[in-house]
Amino acid sequence: MRVLLAVALVALALALALAPAPAAAQAPLRPAVTNGQVVDRALTGGLAQTIAQVASREAGVTWIGYAVPMVAGDHQTCDSKDGGVPVRLEPSDTLVVMVRVEAGHVERIRALSANCRIDVGGRTVHWLTGVRPAESVAWLGDRAAAAPPAVVTRRVVDGALSALALHAEPAALDWLLHVARAGSTTHGRGQALFWLSQRAGQRAIGAIAEAIERDPDTEVKRKAVFALSQLPVDDGVPRLIQIARAHSNPAVRKQAFFWLGQSKDPRALAFFVEVLGR
- pTM listed for this prediction: 0.81
User: Given a cut of 70, is residue 27 above it in pLDDT?
Assistant: no
The C-alpha R_g of the chain, in whole angstroms, comes to: 24
**Would you state the pLDDT for residue 12?**
43
Average pLDDT, the chain: 84
Query: Sign of the CA dihedral 120, 124, 129, 131?
Result: negative
> Measured between alpha carbons, how far is 125 from 146 in angstroms, rounded to an integer?
25
Q: What mean pLDDT is predicted for residues 110-138? A: 91
Q: What is the pLDDT of residue 88?
A: 66
- Taking Cα atoms as reference points, which of 231, 263, 252, 218 lies closest to residue 272? 263
- Quickly count helices (H) and strands (E) in the chain: 11, 7
How far does CA 14 lie from the centroid of its chain? 42
Q: Is the pLDDT of residue 170 over 90?
A: yes
At 149, the pLDDT band (50, 70, 90 cuts) reads low
Judged against a pLDDT cut of 90, whether residue 248 lies above it is answered with yes
Q: What is the pLDDT of residue 259?
A: 96
Residue 204 has pLDDT above 80, yes or no: yes
Which of helix, strand or coil describes residue 243?
helix
DSSP 24: G
- Whether the bond between 232 and the residue before it is cis, its omega within 30 degrees of 0, is no
**Which is more confidently placed, 109 or 27?**
109
The pLDDT of residue 162 is 95
Q: For strand 124-129 and strand 37-42, is the pairing parallel, antiparallel, or unpaired?
A: parallel
**Percentage of the chain exceeding pLDDT 70:** 82
- Residues 134-144: what's their mean pLDDT? 95
pLDDT at 85 over 70: no
Residue range 178-202, pLDDT digits in tens? 999 998 889 999 999 999 998 878 8
